[in-house]
Amino acid sequence: MTSPTHNTPSDMTALRDAVAAGTTTAESICAGMLAVTTERNTEINAFHEVFAEHALEAARRVDSDARAGRPLPPLAGMPIAIKDNVATTLGRTTCSSRMLENYRSPFDATAVERLAHAGAVVMGKTNMDEFAMGSSGEHCKWGPVRNPWDTTRVPGGSSAGSAAAVAGGMCAAAIGSDTGGSIRQPASFCGIVGLKPTYGRISRWGLVAFGSSLDQIGPMTRSVRDAALMLDVMSGIDERDSTTADRPPTELAKTVERPIEGLRVGIPRQYMSDANDSEVNAAVNAAADAYRALGATIVSVELPLTDVGISTYYVIAPAEASSNLARYDGIRYGHRAQLQPGEDLFTLYARSRSEGFGPEVQRRIMLGTYMLSSGYYDAYYKRALQVRRRIKQEFDQAFSACDVLLGPTAPTPAFGFGANSDPLAMYLCDVYTVNTNIAGICGVSIPAGFAERNGKHLPIGVQLQANAFEEDRLLRAARMLERALAATTSAHAPRG
């Protein structure tokens, strides 16, 4: 999309180029975004903390470098919002939880360090579903996040504030984390680009652990080329995260504008369900038509295990979460309950955790604990890991017939607050995104159309997926579609 709000007509790449060319200043870009944030954040609640003075000072330094003719790094002066489960020495890192409401990280996450090294300015920390567990942005200690396109609706989650901040023109770009769709689904609901890179592409050092075999940090941006640029900056091996892939950083900004000759786009038959909203299926069909017009071949592929993805995910993710969140014991950091005289250490652990964690987090911890408990491990966890291999094999087979997969990001556009108050109903929203994480491959959501509800235009995203470490193919295919759909996706704006 080219025009998300009247105040921010450009994507980050264009802003960066304008600063480098001297046609604008980093300070004026930063000040403009801070003004939008001041005006809108009370209602949208995207940010929990904004580092206004820090951001302006950093922007002024970039301008001074530019005036002195010093070479500018790739993201010089660009204000970036950071999801609040990514550690920053600036401000707090709360995971939108009472458990960590006063937590200050003694270090920066590798991704943040690399963004800063590339000249980006950490503008603030964004609200999220507590500990990244949720698909709506409603389960946040600091209040629900609202969708800039229709404030009676959710922005999606769990990277709710990051998506809303980008869509609302409050920052140049953001980072989120994606364990089962937490970047791509809010990107779809908010009309922006959201990339879940291949597992191991970006270091998880400094990302508060949820599901360690599923979690990835990724960019949330106004354009595909911005996502390429941010991935280039954040990717690459990190000695502090032994699960980062031993591969050099990507260089996708150089290739993303190059269309792929003879592209084969697979549409999984199982993705085009009658249960999807009709506008969602229409957006996927329109995207397929656009690819055909560009000379791509559309093939139908089979992913029969699509429907068991949610079940597989809701074994693996809570199992890993129950283990990862065991560290919150009220001893070394985090919330500690007050004990009455005579109460013991067990009570301190249990009460600190029950006071510190919200209901959804406690539900998932119990679910994971149950499934890993004696006598149940084989029936749930081992079985889910076997299904995981089958899901990965199905993707491998599909990718033998096509280069990328095309389908919906989510079955619906943004829903209203409270519409999915039943936990299982909320889980089912992620049917098209969880398998990307289960298989460890990459996926991106890009804006593809709108649904009209009560006179408001709600964005609809489509998802492309590619096999592991095929981000070059994924983003070039996404850029082809973005360019082809520009007239459609720029027809409306959040404040229009």
Which residue in 279, 230, 219 sits closest to 253, CA to CA?
A: 230
Query: Please, which residues have CB within 8 angstroms of residue 488's CB and are 6 or more apart in sequence?
Result: 286, 448, 449
Q: Does 390 bind other proteins (CB under 8 A)?
A: yes
Indicate the residue among 254 and 327 with the shorter CB distance to other proteins: 327
Buried-exposed string 398-418: b where 16+ CB fall within 10 A, e elsewhere: bbeebbbbbbbbbbbbbbebe
Q: Does 246 bind other proteins (CB under 8 A)?
A: yes
* Among 69, 262, 375, 455, contact with other proteins (rule: CB under 8 A): 375
Q: How far is the CB of 356 from other proteins (least distance, A)?
A: 10
Q: Does 384 bind other proteins (CB under 8 A)?
A: yes
Q: Does 200 bind other proteins (CB under 8 A)?
A: yes
Which residue in 238, 245, 198, 192 sits closest to 218, CA to CA?
A: 198
Cα separation, 421 vs 412, in Å, equals 16
Tokens 């360090």 sit at which residue? 113
Stretch that binds other proteins, among 77-85, 255-263, 340-348, 483-491 (CB under 8 A): 340-348
Residues 277-316 that bind other proteins (CB under 8 A): 305, 307-308, 310-312, 314-315
Cα separation, 220 vs 194, in Å, equals 5
Stretch that binds other proteins, among 2-10, 42-50, 67-75, 422-430 (CB under 8 A): 422-430
Query: Please, which residues have CB within 8 angstroms of residue 287's CB and are 6 or more apart in sequence?
Result: 406, 448, 462, 481, 485
Q: Does 378 bind other proteins (CB under 8 A)?
A: yes
Indicate the residue among 261 and 422 with the shorter CB distance to other proteins: 422
Q: Which two tokens stand for residue 238?
A: 């990190």
Residue 288's SS3 state is helix
Q: Does 270 bind other proteins (CB under 8 A)?
A: no
* Among 427, 434, 459, 485, contact with other proteins (rule: CB under 8 A): 427
Indicate the residue among 345 and 491 with the shorter CB distance to other proteins: 345
Q: How far is the CB of 466 from other proteins (least distance, A)?
A: 14
Indicate the residue among 34 and 444 with the shorter CB distance to other proteins: 444
Q: Which of 83, 125, 141, 392 is catalytic?
A: 83
Indicate the residue among 169 and 200 with the shorter CB distance to other proteins: 200
The reply to whether 141 belongs to the active site is no
Q: Which two tokens stand for residue 351?
A: 């009460």
The reply to whether 322 belongs to the active site is no
* Among 83, 388, 473, 479, contact with other proteins (rule: CB under 8 A): 388
Residues 202-241 that bind other proteins (CB under 8 A): 213, 239
Cα separation, 446 vs 464, in Å, equals 8
* Among 23, 42, 278, 374, contact with other proteins (rule: CB under 8 A): 374
Indicate the residue among 58 and 183 with the shorter CB distance to other proteins: 183
Q: Does 392 bind other proteins (CB under 8 A)?
A: yes
Q: Report cis status (omega within 30 of 0) of the bond before 158.
A: yes
Q: How far is the CB of 107 from other proteins (least distance, A)?
A: 8
Stretch that binds other proteins, among 55-63, 149-157, 387-395, 449-457 (CB under 8 A): 387-395
| CB atoms closer than 10 angstroms to residue 269 | 14
| Burial bucket for residue 274 (CB in 10 Å: 0-12, 13-18, 19+) | exposed
Indicate the residue among 237 and 282 with the shorter CB distance to other proteins: 237
Cα separation, 234 vs 237, in Å, equals 10
Longest Cα separation, the chain: 75
Strand-pair category, 404-408 with 264-268: parallel
What is the side-by-side strand order in the sheet with 404-408?
A: 47-50, 121-126, 79-83, 173-178, 216-221, 193-196, 442-453, 456-466, 404-408, 264-268, 297-301
Residues 341-360 that bind other proteins (CB under 8 A): 343-351, 353-354, 357
Q: How far is the CB of 395 from other proteins (least distance, A)?
A: 11
* Among 103, 264, 294, 486, contact with other proteins (rule: CB under 8 A): 103
Residues 466-485 that bind other proteins (CB under 8 A): 468
Cα separation, 408 vs 82, in Å, equals 26
Residue 405's SS3 state is strand
Q: Which of 136, 159, 177, 182 is catalytic?
A: 182
Cα separation, 66 vs 373, in Å, equals 59
Q: Does 491 bind other proteins (CB under 8 A)?
A: no
* Among 42, 278, 422, 487, contact with other proteins (rule: CB under 8 A): 422
Indicate the residue among 160 and 315 with the shorter CB distance to other proteins: 315
Which residue in 280, 206, 322, 313 sits closest to 461, CA to CA?
A: 280
Stretch that binds other proteins, among 51-59, 120-128, 155-163, 327-335 (CB under 8 A): 327-335
Q: How far is the CB of 173 from other proteins (least distance, A)?
A: 26
Indicate the residue among 53 and 378 with the shorter CB distance to other proteins: 378
Which residue in 414, 428, 198 sits closest to 311, CA to CA?
A: 428
* Among 369, 416, 470, 488, contact with other proteins (rule: CB under 8 A): 369
Active site residues: 83, 158, 182
